[in-house]
Structure 1
């Protein structure tokens, strides 16, 4: 078989599952990532304006820590602690954004590989597969 570009190049493991994605599939992932990844300016504004209530953590998808910061921020005793936590997060925000972006990319990559390895007759809904993967 002659090589005719990156679209026809694919690698498979011993079970016949696809390991590499085509150029088109990689570009689809990149476009989806660009639309879903958190924006740094918005995260910084949320951290500065409502950081002691965990708004930036909710924006970055870290709901558990956001809830803790919110509960601390609503109490008089916890407000200084939450303020110091938000100040620390202000300096770590780039790392938090990068971690969230990598998590989104991993999710999109898993979805693309799952879709590429799905048998032709499998007509399960995309939402059902995502739900199964989260609970899974």
Structure 2
């Protein structure tokens, strides 16, 4: 081989390292944005909902259907949420603290109350 065969490899290595560095910073920014999305409202504390049942339905559709089925009537070993023998406060407690294999869904009491209100409308 004639010339300097290491120069193209060195250029590729430098470009690769620069690309890794840039993508790392992009990833950090995306992680922060995803964390804000996970918090639901950019980290602001929810104090109340205009329509808690509608808000609870929306949150239940996002969080509960994966395990309890699309109509929340249970799936596999996961219980039917449309036929619960629990009080509103007990449902809020399960949402906040989990029960059995179910993890806690939120640590926000206002959100838990809205989801519980929606679930209780399914049990009427």
When normalised by structure 1's length, the TM-score is: 0.31
> Of the two, which has the highest radius of gyration?
2
When normalised by structure 2's length, the TM-score is: 0.33
Structure (1/2) with the larger helix percentage = 1
